[in-house]
Amino acid sequence: MKKELHPKYQLIKATCSCGNVMEVNSTLSEDISVEICSKCHPFYTGQQKIVDTGGRVQRFEKKFGKTS
């Protein structure tokens, strides 16, 4: 394998807007900030909302009528 062909892979800190700090491997040389992480994302925290789309069919039928 050729030397100096691939970028250097190093440990950096990723800081979330919620304050969580993670150490990750990256080819970047400076620390990064992210908007969302596994500590504050609704999918991982269980705060996920379920959107009820059942009314969409009724609104469509009301607007265009039933065609059966």
Whole-model pTM over 0.95: no
* CA atoms of 19 and 3, how far apart (whole Å): 38
Parts of the chain with a pLDDT under 50: none
Instruction: Give the pLDDT confidence score for residue 51 in this predicted structure.
Output: 66
Instruction: Give the pLDDT confidence score for residue 30 in this predicted structure.
Output: 94
Cβ atoms of 32 and 12 closer than 8 Å: yes
* CA atoms of 19 and 44, how far apart (whole Å): 16
Instruction: Give the pLDDT confidence score for residue 42 in this predicted structure.
Output: 78
Could you read off the pLDDT of 49-67 as tens digits, one per residue? Answer: 766 666 777 888 888 887 6
Which CATH class, in words, describes the domain spanning 7-49? Answer: few secondary structures
Closest CA to 32 of 7, 10, 8, 15: 15
Instruction: Give the pLDDT confidence score for residue 54 in this predicted structure.
Output: 67
